[in-house]
């Protein structure tokens, strides 16, 4: 007994130094903030003066009654609807194209992935200039095609679709690599069997490829959902939520409440609601791993 | 007749595919070509050649390095460049070290509470940064790390994705190797450092590249955690050029060029590792 305790102690003296650094980091910068967030969400906390007043559930009630909060929820959903379906179909098509072993196709795959590894700030800034109504590249391109110039980011109707287009351009490569991995997982014998049975290209796609990458599709959809609900940087840089609140999304509203309006408690309550929502989506995704 | 029709069909579909490919290449590269060309153009030339669209829009007629000189020297862009490199380097080395240590313990050592610790690590995978950025800021401020270099990278070094990636790779190493080393009298740390770490080199490369890019890209965190202009990072510096009252297009192009092109070149060489790391962890964007 005694020696067993000593042995397990010896064992821990080896294990603890190995696991401690990472655990401390996780405890301080991941877990503590969660508790801090829950705590602050029950207070009226002004960071500048440092005053803290217990308000109970008030911050949550205020959030749920705040029309601007619901506007940001609708805007975020709109961004999701504009971006995700198009991006996924596009990514699937690209994966099918890039999957072939034709010469030079590797270069195309690399090119499609370059926006995905480019900094979000650089992408926002360059596309921000491309969308410029007078000197932007896109209007000059439309002029070349004899089409009327557009207002893009300064029009409440076009602002969100413009940002969604840019984000599709940036993120489609990410989705493509997951679809590619899914396609690689389909054994070639299935395709051969289908060809022998006389199936055409369209039928193979409809009855074999699409159903067999279903799990990948679900996984990609869920991760896209999460990333769409977290969108912040491009909107913060390109429109600041304007024009006329047309691009004010949840995380931007959260940021403004915390760091501009000095309403930390309110921002914490929004954080908790957003966190709970994303957590629910994540739970679904862990049940459905890509493969 | 039949054969002729089939030949025509084949030609048509080949033409269609090539049309698609040309369109795709243009769609994904034109912003980069425009950016790179404009970075080497004098300001007047940028604006003179946007309307009407022609080859002049994409080729500098009088290439100059003046934009880079103005940006790096006069506007002191070299400082955020050095800051970002230092922060990225610190993030990568510390992350790789502490994540591989814990991943090694979780995957190759037996101790009570192992499953619990792994579950704890995994649970943080689901916490998106955006949902905890406000309390993370409050915690970092409480620790007195706001406005410091440590505050810029310490919160990012314990990364569950990287731990998860390393654990998967450690699990693939046969146990015989470890057993032999223990027989020879290696301590657990020696097993880790001399035997296991060299075995997961590909995972280390993908983790280093992914983590480097995250650090290089990070914008919100540096923006909220430091107001000190001497500790500004590249992303914040570029964003500042863009949001300033009068936009200096030529400097933005030069800054974006410096921040992007080296990464793209590294990516071209390391993309295999990058894709492997992304796909095997299910890591997806930021």
| B185-218 pLDDT tens trace | 888 888 889 888 999 999 999 999 999 999 999 9
Q: Per-residue pLDDT tens for B265-277?
A: 999 998 889 888 8
Query: What residues make up the domain containing A19?
Result: 2-40
Q: Does residue B285 register a pLDDT over 60? A: no
Q: Per-residue pLDDT tens for A13-60?
A: 888 888 999 999 999 999 999 999 999 999 888 877 777 888 889 899
Largest CA distance in chain A: 88
Cis peptide before B27 (omega within 30 of 0): no
Distance CA A266, CA A273 (A): 11
Contact yes or no for B30 and A264 at CB 8 A: no
Distance CA B226, CA B237 (A): 13
Distance CA B156, CA B158 (A): 6
Specify whether A118 is located in the same domain as A19: no
Specify whether A229 is located in the same domain as A279: yes
Residue A139 lies in a domain: no
Q: What is the pTM of this model?
A: 0.91
Reported confidence tier of residue B72, pLDDT bands at 50, 70, 90? very high
Distance CA A70, CA B223 (A): 26
Specify whether A23 is located in the same domain as A90: no
Residue A251 lies in a domain: yes
- B38 or A100: which carries more pLDDT confidence? B38
**pLDDT attached to residue B65:** 93
DSSP, res B244? S
Distance CA A103, CA B90 (A): 40
Q: Per-residue pLDDT tens for B212-232?
A: 999 999 999 999 998 888 999
CB A178 within 8 A of CB A216: yes
Mutation for B interface: A87, A98, A122, most B CBs within 10 A: A122
Specify whether A87 is located in the same domain as A227: yes
Residue A94 lies in a domain: yes
Q: Per-residue pLDDT tens for A186-198?
A: 888 888 888 888 8
Query: In angstroms, what separates the C-alpha of A191 from chain B's closest C-alpha?
Result: 21
Distance CA A125, CA B44 (A): 20
Query: HSE on the CB side for A15, CA within 13 Å?
Result: 18
- Give me the architecture of the B70-281 domain, per CATH: Orthogonal Bundle (1.10)
Q: Find the mean pLDDT for residues B99-114.
A: 89
Q: Per-residue pLDDT tens for A81-94?
A: 999 999 999 999 99
Provide the domain count of chain A.
2
**pLDDT attached to residue B84:** 95
Contact yes or no for A125 and B256 at CB 8 A: yes
CB B157 within 8 A of CB B163: no
CB A76 within 8 A of CB A249: yes
Q: Does residue A163 register a pLDDT over 50? A: yes
Q: Does B23 touch chain A (CB under 8 A)?
A: no
Specify whether A183 is located in the same domain as A270: yes
SS (H, E, C) B17-71: HHHHHHHHHHHHHHHHHHHHHHHCCCHHHHHHCCCCCCHHHCCCCCCCCHHHHHH
Q: Does residue A291 register a pLDDT over 50? A: no
Residue A46 lies in a domain: no
**pLDDT attached to residue B237:** 93
- B284 or A110: which carries more pLDDT confidence? A110
Residue A141 lies in a domain: no
Specify whether A114 is located in the same domain as A6: no
Q: Give me the residue spans of the domains in chain B.
A: 2-64, 70-281
Q: Which residue of A has its CA nearest to B225?
A: A259
**pLDDT attached to residue A16:** 87
Q: Find the mean pLDDT for residues A216-234.
A: 91
**pLDDT attached to residue A215:** 86
Q: Which of B245, B220, B50 is nearest to A131 (CA)?
A: B50
Query: In angstroms, what separates the C-alpha of B271 from chain A's closest C-alpha?
Result: 8
Q: Does residue B52 register a pLDDT over 70? A: yes
Cα angle B49, B53, B56 (rounded to 5 degrees) comes to: 50
- Contact list, A283 vs chain B (CB under 8 Å): 126
pLDDT mean across residues, chain B: 89
Q: Nearest CB to B134: which of A21, A223, A267? A: A267
**pLDDT attached to residue A290:** 45
Size of interface A-B (CB pairs under 8 A): 264
Residue A113 lies in a domain: yes
Q: Does B149 touch chain A (CB under 8 A)?
A: no
Q: Per-residue pLDDT tens for A131-150?
A: 999 889 999 999 999 899 99
Contact yes or no for B238 and A125 at CB 8 A: yes
Q: Find the mean pLDDT for residues A6-12.
A: 66
Q: Find the mean pLDDT for residues B97-110.
A: 91
Reported confidence tier of residue A285, pLDDT bands at 50, 70, 90? low
Q: Per-residue pLDDT tens for B225-251?
A: 988 889 999 999 999 999 887 788 999
Distance CA B211, CA B128 (A): 16
Q: Does residue A66 register a pLDDT over 50? A: yes
Residue A51 lies in a domain: no
Specify whether A7 is located in the same domain as A99: no
Q: Does residue A209 register a pLDDT over 80? A: yes
Q: CATH code at A282? A: 1.10.3720.10
């Amino acid at each position: 007994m005694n020696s067993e305790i000593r042995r397990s102690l010896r064992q821990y003296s080896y294990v603890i130094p190995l696991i401690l650094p990472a655990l401390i980091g996780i405890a301080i910068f991941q877990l503590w903030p969660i508790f801090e967030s829950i705590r602050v969400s029950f207070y009226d906390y002004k960071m500048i003066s440092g005053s803290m007043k217990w308000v109970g559930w008030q911050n949550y009630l205020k959030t749920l009654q705040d029309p601007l909060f619901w506007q940001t929820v609708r805007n975020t959903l709109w961004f999701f609807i504009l971006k995700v379906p198009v991006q996924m179909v596009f990514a699937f098509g690209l994966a099918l194209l890039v999957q072939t072993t034709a010469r030079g196709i590797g270069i195309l795959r690399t090119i499609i992935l370059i926006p995905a590894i480019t900094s979000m700030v650089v992408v926002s800034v360059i596309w921000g200039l491309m969308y410029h109504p007078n000197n932007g590249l896109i209007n000059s391109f439309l002029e070349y095609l004899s089409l009327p110039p557009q207002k893009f980011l300064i029009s409440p109707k076009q602002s969100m679709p413009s940002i969604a287009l840019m984000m599709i351009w940036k993120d489609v490569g990410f989705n493509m690599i997951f679809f590619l991995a899914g396609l690689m997982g389909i054994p070639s014998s299935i395709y051969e069997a289908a060809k022998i049975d006389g199936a055409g290209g369209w039928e193979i796609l409809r009855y074999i490829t699409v159903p067999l990458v279903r799990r990948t599709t679900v996984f990609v959809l869920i991760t896209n959902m999460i990333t769409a609900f977290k969108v912040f940087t491009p909107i913060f840089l390109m429109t600041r939520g304007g024009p006329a609140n047309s691009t004010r999304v949840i995380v931007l509203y959260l940021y403004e409440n915390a760091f501009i309006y000095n309403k930390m408690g309110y921002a914490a309550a929004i954080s908790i609601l957003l966190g709970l929502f994303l957590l629910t989506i994540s739970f679904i995704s862990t049940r459905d791993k890509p493969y | 007749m039949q054969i002729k029709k089939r030949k025509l069909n084949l030609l048509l579909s080949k033409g269609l595919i090539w049309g698609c490919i040309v369109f795709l290449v243009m769609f994904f590269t034109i912003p980069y070509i425009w950016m790179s060309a404009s970075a080497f153009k004098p300001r007047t030339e940028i604006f003179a050649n946007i309307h009407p669209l022609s080859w002049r829009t994409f080729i500098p007629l009088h290439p100059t390095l003046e934009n880079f000189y103005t940006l790096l020297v006069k506007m002191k862009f070299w400082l955020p460049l050095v800051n970002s490199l230092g922060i990225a380097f610190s993030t990568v080395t510390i992350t790789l070290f502490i994540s591989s240590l814990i991943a090694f313990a979780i995957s190759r050592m037996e101790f009570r509470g192992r499953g619990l610790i792994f579950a704890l690590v995994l649970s943080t995978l689901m916490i998106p940064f955006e949902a905890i950025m406000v309390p993370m800021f409050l915690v970092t401020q409480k620790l007195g790390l706001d406005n410091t270099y440590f505050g810029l990278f310490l919160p990012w070094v314990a990364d569950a994705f990287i731990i998860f990636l390393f654990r998967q790779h450690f699990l693939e190493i046969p146990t015989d190797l470890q057993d032999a080393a223990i027989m020879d009298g290696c301590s657990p740390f020696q097993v880790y450092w001399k035997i296991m770490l060299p075995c997961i080199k590909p995972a280390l490369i993908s983790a280093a590249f992914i983590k480097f890019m995250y650090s290089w890209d990070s914008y919100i965190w540096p923006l909220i955690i430091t107001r000190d202009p001497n500790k500004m990072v590249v992303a914040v510096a570029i964003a500042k050029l863009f949001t300033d009252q009068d936009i200096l297009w030529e400097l933005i192009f030069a800054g974006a060029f410096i921040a992007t092109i080296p990464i793209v070149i590294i990516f071209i060489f390391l993309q295999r590792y990058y894709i492997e790391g992304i796909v095997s962890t299910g890591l997806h964007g930021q």
